[in-house]
Amino acid sequence: MLTYLRKRIISSALPLVVVVVGVFALARMTGNPASLYLPLNATQQMRDDFTARNGLDQPLLVQMADYFGGVLRLDFGQSLRTGQDAAAMALRAFPATLQLAATTMVLAVVLAVIVGCWAALKPNGVADRISSFISMAAASIPDFWLAIVGIWIFAITLGWVPTSGVSGASAWVLPIATLLLRPFGVLVQIVRGSMVSALSEPYIKLARSRGAGELRVVTHHALRNAAAPALTVAGDLTVGLVNGAVVVETIFGWPGIGKLMIDSILQRDFAVLQAAVLLTAVAIFALNILIDMGYALLDARVRPVTVKA
């Protein structure tokens, strides 16, 4: 198990390093923050001072060495915009995104398993039609437009929920409903497909012939074997959500990591951007390892062979 984990950790660490280094370099290509933070009539002397004070006059490699030296000592630099510790800002925004992502994914998985199993048991039935309609909608409707339609109908016309913000439980309804559509639409098709093939396996026939109830056949025999593809896709979808639902967070004024990232990109707040990217990259890295371990727990065939003494 440990060798297996070590291999997975090494192979998924490469993209992580490339992304963090790439973001560092690309962010500096967006231009000098001096032109954004100093008044228009600032003298060249002031601009040079600003650049030198923030270490932006150094060659890129020196800046990078400085930064990663700091990261090793857990010093992520200060925000240009607020002067606060960049890591603290990223850590403060992250829980909001995680809460949103976790709630959405739990709802999506539960709903997809229920509707997907139902659809697989009765092909061309009501659940099957509903699920294929929703999948089609999920692949066709832009999330920002869905959010706007939601605000228009439920917040402005009906006044049931607030248009944005995080106050109270009702503020969660629209962001989650908007985010839910895509994961649910994708997952329900995966669950349905793998359940259809699992239900036609001989061991299901065996279980039925031994008198197992329909519920037990579905949950204990079929679902367990059909879970692996759904787990892969659910993992990918969660990665997308943890990366920050930028659009949804922007529309609903949700103070999450996606909003922080786009704000710091637009305002050339390099330290905050790097801290946010690093944080999400590490979170996604950890998530991938967890998913791999989930596989091994679920399916004995994936587990690496251990020599028995």
Regarding 253 and contact with other proteins (CB under 8 A), the answer is no
Asked if 243 interacts with other proteins (CB under 8 A), we say yes
69 touches other proteins (CB under 8 A): no
Q: Is 10 in the site for other proteins (CB under 8 A)?
A: no
Among positions 143-172, residues that touch other proteins (CB under 8 A) are 143-145, 148-149, 151-152, 156
Token pair of 110 as six digits: 């539960």
Least CB distance to other proteins at residue 245 (A): 11
Measured CA to CA, the distance from residue 267 to residue 163 in angstroms comes to 25
Report how many helices (DSSP H) and strands (DSSP E) the chain contains, helices first. 14, 0
Nearest to 271 by CA among 10, 57, 111, 54: 54
Candidate segments 70-78, 99-107, 205-213, 259-267, binder of other proteins by CB under 8 A: 259-267
Segment 297-302 long-range contacts (CB within 8 Å, at least 24 positions apart)? 298/224, 298/227, 298/228, 298/231, 299/228, 302/228
Distance (Å, rounded) from C-alpha 146 to C-alpha 181? 9
As measured in angstroms, the least distance from the Cβ of 26 to other proteins is 5
| Residues in binding contact with other proteins, number by CB under 8 A | 37
**Would you count residue 282 as binding other proteins (CB under 8 A)?**
no
Considering only 140, 167, 209, 306, the residue that binds other proteins (CB under 8 A) is 140
Q: Is 27 in the site for other proteins (CB under 8 A)?
A: yes
Q: How many CB atoms lie within 10 A of CB 291?
A: 17
Side chain identity at residue 263, one-letter code: D
Q: What is the dihedral of CA 262, 267, 273, 276, to 10 degrees?
A: -50
Tell me whether residue 3 or residue 124 sits nearer to other proteins (CB atom).
Answer: 124
Choose between 142 and 211: whose C-beta lies nearer to other proteins: 142
Q: Of 227 and 277, which has the nearer Cβ to other proteins?
A: 277
Task: Round to whole Å and give the CA distance between 46 and 177.
Answer: 49
Binding site for other proteins (CB under 8 A): 14-16, 18-19, 22-23, 26-27, 29-31, 136, 139-145, 148-149, 151-152, 156, 243, 246-247, 250-251, 261-262, 265-266, 273, 277, 284
